[in-house]
Amino acid sequence: MLELILFYMASTIALVSTILALTRVNAAHALVYLILSLLAVAVVFYLIGAPFAAALEVVIYAGAIMVLFVFVIMMLNLGEKGDRREKQLLKPQIWITPVILAVLLLVELVLVLSQSAPAETQGLISSKEVGMALYGPYVLAVEIASMLLMAGLVGAYHLGRRYLEEGGGS
């Protein structure tokens, strides 16, 4: 029972903090809410028997990736002017269409979910099992992921260089 209660609490926190994150005007505030949401999702992972995933969620998502965001926001140094601009952008009329579409999509997703037979999560999957799978049948995927990360590194380095500002492009 405790797990169930914990699960619903974590879920609620995740949802609410996500909504708050996406409605903030200030990017730094949004990021804090997002980290909170990710931590709540990590709790969900733990509860459905994936402690390794939960750990990675905290370490890499909430840790490493979010830190990147923080760095960039610091670099851009938006300040008060950016906040004011953001407020103007959140006018009610631009909410209508996306909300209708989102509700429609949600209804469809719920329909899809309701079509499947009810099932429950079972037991714990240890990090050893994950490791065996990762370096067993999925070793090719790991290699591809490493190449993707490499490409991301090179791309990020290239895009971040200053010379593009003056000469390149346009």
Q: Which of 36, 39, 53, 58 binds other proteins (CB under 8 A)?
A: 53
Q: Which helix (H) or strand (E) holds 142?
A: helix 139-160
- Check binding of 74 to other proteins (CB under 8 A): no
Q: How far is CA 114 from CA 105, 109, 147, 166, in A?
A: 14, 9, 39, 55
Q: Which of 79, 80, 123, 140 binds other proteins (CB under 8 A)?
A: 123
Residues 133-162 that bind other proteins (CB under 8 A): 133-134, 138, 141, 145-146, 148-149, 151-153, 155-160
Phi-psi group of 49: left, alpha or beta (phi > 0 → left; psi -120 to 50 → alpha; rest → beta): left
Which of 74, 85, 87, 143 is the binder for other proteins (CB under 8 A)? 85
In the set 36, 39, 50, 58, which binds other proteins (CB under 8 A)?
Answer: 50
Residues contacting other proteins: total by CB under 8 A: 92
Does the protein bind other proteins through residue 98 (CB under 8 A)?
yes
Of 73 and 80, which CB lies nearer to other proteins in the complex structure?
Answer: 73
C-alpha pair distances (Å), 167 with each of 102, 157, 170: 42, 17, 9
Q: What amino acid occupies position 106?
A: L
Least gap, CB of 80 to other proteins (angstroms): 14
Which two three-digit tokens encode residue 78?
A: 């938006």
15 binds other proteins (CB under 8 A): yes
